[in-house]
Amino acid sequence: MAKTKVKALVIGAKDSKEKDKLVTLFTLEQGKLFVYFRGVKGEKAKLKEAKELFTFAEYVLEEGKYGNIVVEANIIDSFSQLRRDLDKYYEACSILDVLNKTSKESNPFVFIQALKALKAICYEDSPKNYALIKFLILVFENSGYTLNFDTCSGCKSKLTGKKYLNVEYGEIVCANCKQLTSIEISPVVLSALKIFKQTPFEKLKSVKIGGGGEQKALNLLIENFEWRFGCKFFTA
Ligand SMILES: [Zn+2]
C-alpha cells in the first residue's frame, strides 16, 4: 500500500471506535489532514504519545479503506510541558484552534510560526498570551491583513490622530474614514500592538507592556479574527 511521510503538528483528536483515535494533523506538506491511530488507547500502545495534542513529529501514513492510518511516528518535540501548566495549555490550545480554523491548505510560513509560538510558550516563559498575540498578528499578515499603523487604508493619508480598526476589512483607518464597524484603538493598545509586531517570538519574555495593553490588544485581535474568518475564537 502507498505510504507517505509528513511533518506535522497534532491540532485535534477525538475518539473513534473503542480503541482508535481520529486525529487532525496540520502538516507542512499538505495542510490539514485527518488520520487514524489504530489501537492507541492502551498504556503500552506504540504510538500513544504521537497522538497527543501539540506533538510535532514525522508521521508515516498508509492509505487505508476509510482514510489515512498512521503506521509510524518519530517525535521531534512533544511539547509535553504544555500539559502541566493550565495557562500555557490554554494559550497553546488557542494556537491550535487558530490553525484548525484557518489552515486548510499547506502553509509553511504559518506552520513555522506556530512552532515558534509553541516553543515560546513551552520553553521560553513568554508572559501569558504574548505568543498568541504575536501569532495572530502574523496570521493576519499572512492572509493579507497587515496591520499598518502609518497610513490610513481608506484615504491613504498619514495616520497622525486617532486610529481605528475597521473590523469589516481588517484594516486601520483615520477618524475621517471610520465607519460603524470601526473600533477605536486606544494609545495603550496601539503601543502594545506595535511592540508585538516588531518583537520576535524568542524575545517576547523581555517585553514590557503597560496598562493591561496585552489583554486589550488580544481582545481587539480576537474581534478581528472572528470577522476575518467567520468563526468564534477559542479562549479559556
Ligand atoms: Zn482616512
In the reported structure, the alpha carbon of residue 171 is separated from the centroid of ligand 1 by a whole-number distance in angstroms of: 11
Task: Look up the domain containing 174 and give its range.
Answer: 85-229
In the reported structure, the alpha carbon of residue 187 is separated from the centroid of ligand 1 by a whole-number distance in angstroms of: 18
End position of a domain, from candidates 59, 78, 97: 78
In the reported structure, the alpha carbon of residue 137 is separated from the centroid of ligand 1 by a whole-number distance in angstroms of: 22
In the reported structure, the alpha carbon of residue 150 is separated from the centroid of ligand 1 by a whole-number distance in angstroms of: 11
> Do both 114 and 146 map to the same domain?
yes
> Do both 152 and 209 map to the same domain?
yes
End position of a domain, from candidates 26, 51, 78: 78
In the reported structure, the alpha carbon of residue 159 is separated from the centroid of ligand 1 by a whole-number distance in angstroms of: 8
Please report which confidence band the pLDDT of residue 170 belongs to, taking 50, 70 and 90 as the band edges.
Answer: very high
- pLDDT higher than 80, residue 236: no
In the reported structure, the alpha carbon of residue 12 is separated from the centroid of ligand 1 by a whole-number distance in angstroms of: 42
In the reported structure, the alpha carbon of residue 192 is separated from the centroid of ligand 1 by a whole-number distance in angstroms of: 22
d(CA 169, CA 146): 11
> pTM for this one?
0.94
Within 10 A of 35 (CB to CB), how many other CB atoms are there?
A: 22
Mean pLDDT of the chain: 94
Structural domain includes residue 197:
yes
> Do both 108 and 178 map to the same domain?
yes
CATH of the domain at 41: 2.40.50.140
Structural domain includes residue 234:
no
SS3 of the chain: the string is CCEEEEEEEEEEEEEECCCEEEEEEEECCCEEEEEEECCCCCCCCCCCHHHCCCCEEEEEEEEECCEEEEEEEEEEECCHHHHHCHHHHHHHHHHHHHHHHHCCCCCHHHHHHHHHHHHHHHCCCCCCCHHHHHHHHHHHHHCCCCCCCCECCCCCCECCCCEEEECCCCEEECCCCCCCCEEEECHHHHHHHHHHHHCCHHHHHHCCCCCCHHHHHHHHHHHHHHHHHCCCCCCC
CA distances from 192 to 55, 91, 130 (A): 31, 18, 10
Q: Quick one: pLDDT at residue 16? A: 84
In the reported structure, the alpha carbon of residue 152 is separated from the centroid of ligand 1 by a whole-number distance in angstroms of: 5
End position of a domain, from candidates 78, 107, 129: 78
> Do both 57 and 98 map to the same domain?
no
What pLDDT digit, counting tens, does each position of 27-68 carry? 999 999 999 999 887 777 789 899 999 999 999 999 988 889
> Do both 48 and 115 map to the same domain?
no
In the reported structure, the alpha carbon of residue 158 is separated from the centroid of ligand 1 by a whole-number distance in angstroms of: 8
Structural domain includes residue 32:
yes
- pLDDT higher than 80, residue 234: yes
> Do both 197 and 100 map to the same domain?
yes
CATH of the domain at 150: 1.20.1440.120
The count of domains in the chain is 2
Q: Quick one: pLDDT at residue 41? A: 75
> Do both 117 and 196 map to the same domain?
yes
In the reported structure, the alpha carbon of residue 47 is separated from the centroid of ligand 1 by a whole-number distance in angstroms of: 55
Residue found by looking up cell 474581534 in the block: 223
Please report which confidence band the pLDDT of residue 235 belongs to, taking 50, 70 and 90 as the band edges.
Answer: confident
> Do both 194 and 107 map to the same domain?
yes
> Do both 69 and 186 map to the same domain?
no
In the reported structure, the alpha carbon of residue 147 is separated from the centroid of ligand 1 by a whole-number distance in angstroms of: 14
In the reported structure, the alpha carbon of residue 227 is separated from the centroid of ligand 1 by a whole-number distance in angstroms of: 21
Q: Quick one: pLDDT at residue 103? A: 86
> Do both 36 and 102 map to the same domain?
no
In the reported structure, the alpha carbon of residue 26 is separated from the centroid of ligand 1 by a whole-number distance in angstroms of: 39
> Do both 218 and 113 map to the same domain?
yes
What pLDDT digit, counting tens, does each position of 119-132 carry? 999 999 899 999 99
> Do both 129 and 215 map to the same domain?
yes
